[in-house]
Amino acid sequence: MSTQPIAKKTHFYQIIAQIGYFSLLLLVPLWHLYLSPPGFNINPWLITSIWLIPLLFPLRGILRKDPYTFAWCGFIALIYIMHSTIILYSEPSEVLLASIELFFSSLFLWGCIYFAKYRGIELGLSIRKKKKSKH
């Protein structure tokens, strides 16, 4: 973790990503354990675990404000965007929960993309290789 101060714009995107992330972290167990538990004699704890475990992988990096973590955990946000979109089209009884999930996962993705971009610039990080001069 760098001690270099974070610019206001970068901090804004960090907050957006964290709001989306921690909201998903709360929504997933609420949805699958209390608000709309699965039917067909499926254990709700199993379903909750399946949907919660991917969210736990980036927790340490998000708390430490690591731009690399924010860069790759955008892919995790895509899982929840796909899930909510599928539920929106296929399960009319869960439209509200799916809409909330889509909103939070979109916030998470949006914040991750821009925090990683701007914080990487601030810290001088790059994934591109420098071109060799032709001299």
Q: What is the DSSP string of 94-107?
A: GHHHHHHHHHHHHH
Q: Identify whether 13 is part of a domain.
A: yes
Q: Identify whether 105 is part of a domain.
A: yes
Q: Identify whether 129 is part of a domain.
A: no
| Tens digits of residue pLDDT in 102-112 | 999 999 999 99
- Model pLDDT, residue 41: 84
Q: Identify whether 108 is part of a domain.
A: yes
Contact 15, 114 (CB under 8 A): no
Q: Identify whether 59 is part of a domain.
A: yes
* pLDDT class of 129 with cuts at 50, 70, 90: low
Number of domains in the chain: 1
Q: Identify whether 49 is part of a domain.
A: yes
Residue 130 has pLDDT above 70, yes or no: no
For residue 62, the enclosing domain spans 8-123
pTM listed for this prediction: 0.86
